[in-house]
Structure 1
Amino acid sequence: MEKALWYLFTATRGGANRVRVVRSLAERPKNASQLATDLDVAYSTARHYLDMLADHGVVERGGNDYATLFFLTERFEQHGEEFERIAKHVEIDTQ
């Protein structure tokens, strides 16, 4: 999981926004539309981030319809300290 986190948040474009997605979902589960509004990005962009994070086990879907809620996975939450270390690098690089 640690390698996947470094890849997702530092090695690809959009890492800073994926950090924002995780922080938003940590507040409460959201669907893609809510997340797009929260982050001020297009719906398709929010879906792209969610799909990528789901593919790497960071988020999981709470259903399969339009208003599906997304949650942080237990596996990801077990690596919360590593995520915070990575997020600090991302936040420093984007300032």
Structure 2
Amino acid sequence: MEKALWYLLTATRGGENRLRIVRALSEQPKNANQLAEELDVGYKTVRHHLDTLEEHGLVEAGDQQYARLHFLTDRFKQHRGRFEEIAQQVDTDDRPGAAGDSG
């Protein structure tokens, strides 16, 4: 799971959006429309990231057909502490003046 977290949050484009989606789902289950509105991101972008998070076992969709809610998986919850450590590094690296920031 740790490799998946590093890959999903730091090694690919979209890591910041996936981080924001996971944090939003930590508060409560949400559907893609709710996430798009809350995060001010396009619906298709949210769907793409939800699909990626599902493929890697971090998120699972509920059974309902319409307005399907998404939940964090039990597997993810077991690694929540590591997620927070990686997320903190991502947050720190994104600040102006962080190492590697050119300007």
TM value normalised by structure 1:
0.96
Taking the aligned partners of 2:32 and 2:47, their CA distance within structure 1 comes to: 6
In the TM superposition, what are the counterparts of 1:1-95 in structure 2 within 5 Å?
Answer: 1-63=1-63, 65-95=65-95
Unpaired runs of at least 5, structure 2: 96-103
Deviations 1:20-72 (A, max 9, x none): 10000000000000000010000000101100000000000002523100000
SS at structure 1 position matched to 2:60: strand
Taking the aligned partners of 1:51 and 1:61, their CA distance within structure 2 comes to: 10
Larger Rg: 2
TM value normalised by structure 2:
0.89
Taking only the aligned residue pairs, the percentage that are identical comes to 62
Spell out structure 1 runs of 4+ moving beyond 3 A: none
Alignment length (residue pairs): 95
Question: Which residue identity is paired with 1:33?
Answer: N
